[in-house]
Amino acid sequence: MGRTTVTDDGRMTTVGLLFESAAGLRRLFQRRLENERSLSSQSFDVLIRLARTPGSELRMSELAAQASLTPSGLTRSVDRLQDQGLVERRVCPEDRRGAFAVLTPSGRELMDRAVPDHLAHVNEVLNDVFTADEEATLAALLRKLRDHVLDTNAACGITPEENDICPDAE
């Protein structure tokens, strides 16, 4: 009879599968974005978050947290997008140390062309794996996990806005 160790815990497998799936999806989507739109997955991630946000702008710290980038990583990414005319920065009027990333009309046009193709690819991948009910359940479970992780990090003093002193844009 085999010996059970702490590394045999099924939750280790669950978390590992979650990480492997996320990494695999990122690679799969990245390849097509680069081939069809000459757009890195990081750039797409930043642009889609701006495009889906009311007013098409986010505080830099919030955008960094949503895109899972360090503040310096987001700065470099926004610099590249700004050089391409897809994003611009707007200084926070209440505190000039705070800044917003804002999607430009050119950025909006690019996303209007890229999103339908990307969504078709997402549908292709998810429809091969999940029923509509399974997909809805997965989304609900992932949202629940994400919210718990954000709350747990906040309780430890790790917040997406920890360096942001500018109030939300109105």
What pLDDT digit, counting tens, does each position of 144-154 carry? 998 998 888 88
Least confident of 22-31, 77-86, 150-159: 150-159
What per-residue confidence (pLDDT) applies to 1?
57
Q: Which of 17-21, 72-76, 147-151 has the highest mean pLDDT?
A: 17-21
- DSSP secondary structure string, 77-127? HHHHHHHTTSEEEEE-SS-TT-EEEEE-HHHHHHHHHHHHHHHHHHHHHHH
- Per-residue model confidence (pLDDT) at position 90: 92
What pTM does this model have? 0.76
Which is more confident, 70 or 24?
Answer: 24
Q: Please tell me the predicted confidence (pLDDT) of residue 15.
A: 94
What pLDDT is attached to residue 160? 53
pLDDT tens readout for residues 94-131: 777 789 999 999 999 999 999 999 999 999 999 999 99
Indicate the pLDDT class of residue 4, thresholds 50, 70 and 90: confident
The CA R_g of the chain, rounded to the nearest whole Å, is 19
State the average pLDDT for the chain.
Answer: 87
Long-range contacts at 67-74 (CB < 8 A, ≥ 24 apart):
67/42, 69/42, 71/163, 74/46, 74/101
pLDDT band at 159 (very low <50, low <70, confident <90, very high): low
Tens digits of residue pLDDT in 29-39? 999 988 888 88
